[in-house]
Amino acid sequence: MRPILLQGHERALTQIRYNRDGDIIFSTAKDQHACAWYAHNGERLGTYHGHQGALWTVDVDPTSTIIATGAADNTVRLWDIKSGKCLKVWEFNTAVKRVEFNEDGSKLLAVTEKRMGFLGTIVVFDIKLDLEAEQTDERAMTITCEDSKATVAGWSFLSKYIIAGHEDGTVSQYDAKTGEQLDNTQAHEPDALITDIQWSPDRTYFITASKDKTAKLINARDLEVMKTYVTDTPLNSASITPKKDFVILGGGQAAMDVTTTSARQGKFEARFYHKIFEEEIGRVRGHFGPLNTVAVDPQGKGYASGGEDGYVRVHQFDKGYFDFTYEVERQVRAQQQQQ
Partner 1 sequence: MFELATPSPNSKSRYPAVANNRGPTNIYNFERHDIRTTTTPQLLPHTHTSTSPEPLFKMSKAAGRADWADDEDLDDNVNALPPDTTTTNKDGTKTIITYRFNDEGKKVKTTRRIRFTTVKEVVNPRVAERKSWSKFGLSGKDAPGPASDTTSVGENIIFRPSANWKKDQKEEKPEAGSMKDKLKDKKVKCRICNGEHFTARCPFKDTMAPVGEEGSADVAAGPGDEPASVAGGLGAGKSSYVPPHLRNGGGGGEKMGGGKFERDDLATLRVTNVSEMAEEQELRDMFERFGRVTRVFLAKDRETGLAKGFAFISFQERTDAAKACEKMDGYGFKHLILRVEFAKKAQ
Enumerate residues 6+ apart whose C-beta is below 8 A from 140: 107, 124, 125, 126
Residue 5 touches partner 1, criterion: CB under 8 A: yes
Which positions from 262 to 291 touch partner 1 by CB under 8 A, shown as an x/- string? ----------x-x----xxxxxxxx-----
Work out which of 144, 181, 184, 316 binds partner 1, going by CB under 8 A: 316
Quote the radius of gyration of the chain (alpha carbons, Å). 19
Q: Is 264 helix (H, G, I), strand (E, B) or coil?
A: helix
CA 162 remoteness from chain centre? 15
Query: What track of x and - describes contact with partner 1 for positions 318 through 337 (by CB under 8 A)?
Result: x-xx--x-xx----------
* 8 belongs to the binding site for partner 1 (CB under 8 A): yes
Cα separation values, 83 from 41, 54, 86, 159, 212, Å? 20, 22, 9, 29, 41
> Helix (H, G, I), strand (E, B), or coil: what is residue 122?
strand
Q: Does 42 bind partner 1 (CB under 8 A)?
A: yes
Give me the least distance between CB of 259 and partner 1, in Å please: 23
> Please, which of residues 235-264 interact with partner 1 by CB under 8 A?
246
Total residues contacting partner 1 by CB under 8 A comes to: 50
> In the set 28, 75, 84, 254, which binds partner 1 (CB under 8 A)?
84
Q: How far apart are CA 315 and CA 334, in angstroms?
A: 31
- Separation of alpha carbons 155 and 202, rounded Å: 11
Give the CA angle between residues 312, 98, 241 to the nearest 5°.
55
**Measured from the CB of residue 184, what is the shortest distance to partner 1 in angstroms?**
34
Residue ranges binding partner 1 (CB under 8 A) = 1-8, 21, 23-24, 33, 37-38, 40-49, 63-64, 82-84, 246, 272, 274, 279-286, 313, 315-318, 320-321, 324, 326-327
